[in-house]
Amino acid sequence: MQIPGFQITRKISQGGMSSVYLAIQQSIGREVALKVMSPTLAQDAHFSERFQREATIVGQLSHPNIISIYDIGKHHGLNYIAMDYLAKGSLSQKMRNGLSGLEAVKILKQLASALAHAHHCGYVHRDIKPENILFRADDNAVLSDFGVAKAIKQNLGVTHAGTVLGTPNYMSPEQAKGQPCDGRSDLYSLGVVFFEMLCGKLPYQAEEAVAIAIKHLTAPIPKLPPQHALFQPLIDELLAKNPEDRIQSGEELIERIELLETGLQTPKINYKSLAASDEFKLGIFQRLQAVIFILWQKTTPFFKGEVSQHEKLPQASRYTTAINASQNPDSFSESIQTQDSHRKPQNLAILLMASLFVLLGFFTYQNSFTEKTIEAAPLGKSASLAPKQERIKEQMQVKSQPPSLTLDARQDQKIQESASANHLSTPIRESSSPAKSTPPYSEKSAANITLSASQEQLGDSELKLKKLDEKQDGSSLAQSLEAKTPEKLANHPLTISSVPNADRIRILNIKPKYYAGIELAAGNYLVELSKANYKTVKHWVKINDRAVTRQFTLTKQYQRGHTFSDTLDQYSSAPEMIVVPSGSFSMGSKLNSNSLPIRQVSISKTFAVSRYEISFADYQLFLEDAQKNKHAPDDHGWGKGNRPIINVSWQDAVDYTEWLSRKTGRSYRLLSEAEWEYVARANHAGSYWWPQNSRRMANCRRGCNSDFAKLFGSQTSPLGYYPANPFGVYDTAGNVSEWVLDCHTDHYLGAKPNAEPRLKPSCKQKTIRGGSHGDAIEKISSHSRQGADMETRSNKIGFRILAEI
């Protein structure tokens, strides 16, 4: 595919309406994301208008947190938009690795700013969800996909009254009811996204879209876990059912966020010494004032001028900041004055009087505590409680005294005996503690530890050592201590690597940070390797008497709903796959005799399945690589590209999966019947994954109210035209029937309770599942099955694929 002025590098993603490519804008050498509308939809005025409208709206919105448009045009019937290329992916991908409260608040604030700008310009987005929130290289959030956005004050004529557009999980109550929406609807959707960032799950969940919408209308607002309770008031206002009860604008939301940030971004203080730290005294006083403040807030109704709940939040946030940041008394007083300047004089007087009494009592207690501590402490320990300058002065005074006055008889005798027996060559050890195995240290750090122990723990014994050293050739104390250090420990380099390269390597049972070739003493070391989207590896590595090099293989870790596309070459990629979890289900139905007996089937392994049926575009890559272009299947004039492949035999489908496996190195194949029905049901026990009476959910000949079923025939629909099932898989009902691995039988007698396909050496008929555009709705149910000759090529039969992970 060629677009003038752009050099296409590779496909980034593909959806039902368009494909996105990474391209170079040749005029200025800029990387852009080139969004190209599906050729089959370009003829539809409705879709073309919506595609063009996205560019028109975004072109009027200039904001750092809204995606930018660089060019728009049409070439040989292909509508395209050139926009920002956002390298860090979507919020959906980021949430799989987990987000902290601070990260979630940062993203929320940036999106609030983007919505404030869009609403000010007169547009409501109507489809706020994680997939439409992307990230720049600097991790700043960007709002994208304004395809269903609408002007607030004018009717653009693209949608009709009562039409529901958006994603059910994130719809506001008024949006779910098809009522007119304004900016507050976007803020509700943003509240759902914020809840999901904090909890890792949606606030309302159900198997069916209608049930989700009902919960948004009637269910109470869920509670956040205790660690995020600070955000509950904000969630309550964002998810209010009535728009009038919500936060009214993006600007107001930013103000609330800034108050929360004040309390969240406070440093932690490490109080090392009770009596010597002025910070500790100030911290205690501040905490006592905070207690008084809370009690005062509780008693506020007994005074005139009661404050609202909204006023209490910033006050409490400022007190939290003052307490945790350990400000000096002047700045702390200034903070109190700033927040309480509007209070009644009598309330302020009460607070200050209580603070003075607490301060007086605290200093009285502190002085008493300090005196008792000094009286009870031994001489050696009382010096350690004094300020550093006093300790140095006291040590100098002690050293100036005669050595004979600093040692008792027992210490003098022990040191002399030790010196005469070993000629002062034995390292100094603490005789009061048994020998223990300690982490290895370098020669320098060992000397430092010995010196520190001599100065601080042996106390005045060091003066005697100095005296003895002077008798031995006049050597200094430092030389004597250096001679007494332990023997040098033999260290050996350790090098850890992995395939693919790990994001982080740690050694868990020592403090030093790992680096390639780190030198360690003999012993066992617990090594941890971690990488995003891979399972964390932990292994014990043993070092004996030589250098050690170890390499580990990291295993990909897939979560339910994770999508990926394997690379075929620098210009193309394999079909988009989505991860389906393991589980069990009841296979078959009493409504069809060839689907009996019903049995419980267990799917023991997680696997990935193509989100869409294999398209003409996907299959064309195979034909070109295998030089089989002359055997290209006929499309009956319905269109190729994003339409499902048709007129392929069972063997054609198998050949495609084998080619894909060779190209990617991953194992691809057709699904078994059990795997196919498990995916099609998506944990739904009925005949369809959608509510029984729903229409316009699939493409079939009768009963679906399909846009592609005409009076005298039917045809395939573009992939993704109808909604995906709860597993995120499209077109499991209708459109085209799909080849599976199993030989066809007209019953399930003797079938195993697992996902293995039923195979026969002399098999002539294979099973097709899902029904097609030419079938009635009864034939496209999750349990419907038919048989077809392996060599059959029909405009009603295609296939989808499975990837083993």
What are the catalytic residues?
127
Q: Where are the alpha helices (DSSP H) in 45-90?
A: 45-59
| CA pair distance 433, 689, nearest whole angstrom | 70
CB 683 within 8 A of CB 207: yes
Which residue type sits at 343?
Answer: R
Exposed, middle or buried: residue 511 (CB in 10 Å: 0-12, 13-18, 19+)? exposed
Burial 240-251 (b: 16+ CB within 10 A, else e): bbebeebbebbe
Q: How far is CA 633 from CA 585, 640, 649, in A?
A: 36, 10, 10
Q: How far apart are CA 415 and CA 431, in angstroms?
A: 12
Farthest CA pair distance, the chain: 118
Peptide bond into 402 cis (omega under 30): no
Give the Cα separation of 41 and 18 in Å (integer). 9
DSSP 487-514: PPPPEEEEEEEEES--SEEEETTSSSPP
Reduce the DSSP state of residue 115 to 3 states and report it: helix
Q: Which letter does DSSP use for residue 486 in this model?
A: P
Residue 795, amino acid: N
> CB-based contacts of 374: which residues, under 8 Å, 6+ apart?
382, 385
DSSP structure class, residue 131: G
Residue partners of 90: CB distance under 8 A and separation at least 6: 130, 131, 132, 133, 134, 135
Map residue 316 onto helix, strand or coil. Answer: helix
Rg (CA), the chain: 36
Q: Contact, 737 vs 768, CB < 8 A?
A: yes
Helix (H) or strand (E) holding 742: strand 737-743
Q: With contact defined as beta carbons under 8 Å apart, do 109 and 174 qualify? A: no
Q: What share of the chain is helix, strand, coil (3-state, %, to 5)?
A: 40, 20, 45
Q: Which two tokens stand for residue 265?
A: 């971004």
b/e per residue 363-391 (b: at least 16 CB within 10 A): eeebeeeeeeeeeeeeeeeebebeeeeee
Residue among 745, 748, 744 at smallest CA distance from 596:
748
Q: Report d(CA 274, CA 494) in Å as an integer.
A: 42
Task: Map residue 192 onto helix, strand or coil.
Answer: helix
Backbone angles phi, psi at 69, to 5 degrees: -105, 130
Residue 113 corresponds to which tokens in the numbers above?
């700013």
* Cβ-Cβ contacts under 8 Å for 662 (sequence gap 6 or more): none
Tokens of 649: 């035999």
Q: How far is CA 460 from CA 402, 429, 469, in A?
A: 11, 16, 15
Residues 737, 798 contacting (CB under 8 angstroms): yes
Q: Are 150 and 123 in contact (CB under 8 A)?
A: yes
Place of tokens 């309406």: 17
Q: How many residues does the chain have?
A: 805
8 Å CB contact between 174 and 180: yes
- Whole-angstrom CA distances from 409 to 413, 414, 461, 748 are 6, 9, 12, 97
